[in-house]
Amino acid sequence: MGLRSAARRWAGLILAPSPVTMRRLALAGVAATAVIIMTGAAVRLSQSGLGCPDWPDCTSRSIVAAGVTGDPLIHRWVEFGNRLVTVVITIIAALVLVAAWRYRPEGARRRDIVWLAALQPAGIVAQAILGGVVVLTRLDPVWVSVHFLLSMALVAAAVALHVRVGESSAWLAGARPLAPRELRLICFGLLAVLMLMFAAGTVVTGAGPLAGARSVPRYHLPLAGVTQLHADIGWLIAGLVIALAVGLQLSAAPRRAVRLGWLLLALIGAQGAIGYTQYFTGLPAGLVWFHVTGSVAIWIVALRLAFSLHDRGSVTGSREAAAADAARPDAARV
């Protein structure tokens, strides 16, 4: 009886989600897309990318990490574990999509929220196909780079969904800016430079010793040169974030935006310290994993900062406004 009651309760949360429930589900989607990047990085940095040499099965004889492939057993389980994580994330994405379809915060379905939620399972399917291409091309660095960049795009979609579910549909008609235009332009420029930084980071990894085993193909580029380019982009990002954080502090920007600006600056500083440390210590895999994790955190905070620079109304606020409008005499309505 207890299990049946719990099942009914969870079904009710998915099929009739409140704004709070929908926001929590969307947050689970953000966490899931971030986790798959971290586990994917662990696969590559541990040289386990070819632990399961076949796709969609692990080997030609087994769907799980069994048998003999020429790779150590630990590599097979790391790669297979990453595939299992993908299954869990797919379930979460499907639940988020169902909840988004049933979500009616203002009495009607929100198409923008449904489309954002649909990007998660669609993106996971695309990632699974790309993952198969990566394995079948023996970890070709170009496909590995595309695989990572698509993951970061899915994080952006998940963050957008998490923000949108708490906002009213009025944002479709326009949003009220909460910061000077120059600061908003710097913030959007920062997002573009961050994507360039992530692309450069995949090239650094694909050209270096952590691209995989010696037999794995690499970018035929000088490691010192691409690393210097990566560092130069990092200094550009640092300059943009300093200007943004100071500008938000001195302007009439919302307190949340100011806090996110300083948090982003702290993350950039820590990321830079990790980056230089890993370079001068011979690129230890564990430290590089923390560097990838830091990139995900920076991306999420930068996206949240960009959203915080506009007011799009809230679901609660829109309901209160509608109730107040309905309570007015007809002669007072405009």
Q: How far is CA 31 from CA 40, 308, 327, in A?
A: 14, 20, 41
Kindly report which listed range (12-16, 75-79, 193-197, 282-286) carries the lowest average pLDDT score: 75-79
Query: How far is Cα of residue 86 from the mean position of the Cα atoms in its chain?
Result: 14
Q: Examine the domain organization and report whether 207 and 270 are in the same domain.
A: yes
Q: pTM score, two decimals? A: 0.85
**Is residue 16 located within the same domain as residue 162?**
yes
Helix 19-45 with 285-308: angle, nearest 10 deg: 150
Q: What is the mean pLDDT of residues 256-265?
A: 96
Q: For residues 180 and 316, state if they share a domain.
A: yes
pLDDT of residue 311: 82
Higher pLDDT, 82 or 55: 82
In a domain, 333, yes or no: no
261 falls within a domain: yes
Report the pLDDT value the prediction gives residue 76, as an integer from 0 to 100: 64
* Window from 258-262, 278-282, 307-311, 322-326 with minimum mean pLDDT: 322-326
- Among the candidates 128, 143, 166, a domain finishes at 166
Helix-helix angle 141-164:285-308, to 10 degrees: 40
* 2 within domain boundaries: no
Q: What pLDDT sits at residue 44?
A: 75
Alpha helices for the chain (secondary structure H): 2-15, 19-45, 73-102, 111-136, 141-164, 181-207, 223-250, 255-280, 285-308, 315-327
154 and 276 within one domain: no
Choose one of 166, 201, 217: the last residue of a domain.
166
Q: For residues 66 and 71, give the distance between their C-alpha atoms in angstroms, rounded to a whole number.
A: 11
Statement: residue 334 has pLDDT above 50:
no
User: How many domains is the chain partitioned into structurally?
Assistant: 2
Q: What is the pLDDT of residue 27?
A: 95
Do residues 129 and 160 both lie within one domain? yes
Percent residues over pLDDT 70 in the chain = 79
3-state SS class at 176: strand
Q: What is the pLDDT of residue 209?
A: 81
Structure confidence at residue 228 as a pLDDT band (50, 70, 90): very high
3 domain-assigned: no
What pLDDT score was predicted for residue 201?
92
Res 129 pLDDT > 80: yes
pLDDT of 214: 72
Which range of 36-45, 153-162, 303-312, 325-334 scores highest in mean pLDDT? It is 153-162
15: amino acid identity, one letter: L
> Is residue 310 scored above 70 in pLDDT?
yes
Q: Are residues 152 and 231 in the same domain?
A: no
The residue type found at 274 is I
Domain at 282, CATH number: 1.20.120
Q: Are residues 132 and 222 in the same domain?
A: no
Same domain flag for 252 and 156:
no
Q: Are 29 and 127 in the same domain? A: yes
Same-domain pairing of 151 and 203: no
DSSP H/E element including 59:
none
Residue range of the domain that includes 19: 12-166
Hey, CA dihedral for 206, 209, 211, 217, is it positive or negative? positive
Average per-residue pLDDT for the chain: 82
- 49 occurs within a structural domain: yes
pLDDT, one tens digit per residue, over 64-123 is 455 555 555 566 667 767 777 888 899 999 999 999 998 988 777 888 899 999 999 999
**Contacts by 51-56, CB closer than 8 A, 24 or more apart:** 51/75, 51/76, 51/77, 51/78, 51/79, 51/80, 52/76, 52/79, 52/80, 52/83, 52/135, 53/135, 54/135, 55/131, 55/132, 55/135, 55/136, 56/128, 56/132
Q: Is residue 330 part of a domain?
A: no
| 110 and 90 share one domain | yes
